[in-house]
Homo-oligomer: A and B are copies of this chain.
Amino acid sequence: MRLHGYFRSSAAFRVRIALNLKGLSVEHVFHHLRHNAQNAPDFLALNPQGLVPALETDDGAVLTQSLAIIEWLDETFPDPPLRPGDAAQRARILAFALAIACDIHPVQNLKVLNRLRKLGQDDTGVQAWAAWANREGLAACETLVRAENSSFLFGDAPTLADLCLVPQLSNARRFKVDVSAFPRLLAVEANCLALPAFQQALPQNQPDFEP
């Protein structure tokens, strides 16, 4: 399998964690998003959305969208399960993941921030926008799981929800959000980062990393 990613893409980061948890090793191809490599004709032929991640499977299928790739991995390599439990628990895990993947991440991604620059926002304005999206979204996430008391967001092992949380907290810090307002999320993050699967997936541990 071949994963198309970028060290700083939090969506690719999610997939890297999933692959590591499943014990799968894949070929990594990195595309420099700030150099617009995702809009090169070769890459657009692979993924018309011009987004990473994209996963080429061993039988030649190209899968896109991080959550769809992770669901495919979970169905194809079920151990350990990333969305365990009954239908309601599975839905709660997915809802938390979507609260990040739909309601935070796309509002602060590179494409949107570039558009804000075109509308005349300077660095300060762009950062304030990204910080707002992270702060409001993570506050809702904190409330969603405040009542839980497990090591990870939904139980004693990481799920799809944790795979989305850790990269998003990393983004939030990059945009200078005061994450101390989210103690439950931070406690879970610490437990995640104690695991090699998360450590090895960190942006700074990718070969294309730039400080």
For A50, list chain B residues within 8 Å (CB).
140
For A72, list chain B residues within 8 Å (CB).
87-88, 90-91
Which A residues form the contact surface with B (CB < 8 A)? 48-51, 57, 61, 63-65, 67-69, 71-72, 75-76, 87-88, 90-92, 94-95, 98-99, 101-103, 105-107, 112, 115, 119, 121, 125, 129, 132, 140, 143-144
Q: A51 touching B103 by the CB < 8 A rule?
A: yes
Given contacts A65-B99, A65-B102, A129-B115, contact A49 B92 (CB under 8 A): no
Q: B102 touching A102 by the CB < 8 A rule?
A: yes
Q: A90 touching B71 by the CB < 8 A rule?
A: yes
Which interface residue of A87, A112, A143 has the most chain B CB atoms within 10 A?
A: A87
Q: B90 touching A67 by the CB < 8 A rule?
A: no
Given contacts A87-B75, A88-B61, contact A132 B105 (CB under 8 A): no
Bound: A64/B96 CA distance, A: 9
Q: B69 touching A91 by the CB < 8 A rule?
A: yes
For A48, list chain B residues within 8 Å (CB).
140, 143-144
Q: B49 touching A68 by the CB < 8 A rule?
A: no
The 8 Å CB contact of A92, one of B63, B94, B115, is B63
Bound: A49/B49 CA distance, A: 28
Q: A49 touching B91 by the CB < 8 A rule?
A: no
Given contacts A103-B51, A143-B48, contact A91 B115 (CB under 8 A): no
Bound: A88/B76 CA distance, A: 9
Given contacts A51-B103, A63-B88, contact A68 B98 (CB under 8 A): yes
For A95, list chain B residues within 8 Å (CB).
63-65, 68-69
Bound: A129/B115 CA distance, A: 9
Q: A102 touching B106 by the CB < 8 A rule?
A: yes
Rounded to whole Å, the gap between the CB of A182 and the closest CB of chain B is 13
Bound: A49/B102 CA distance, A: 12
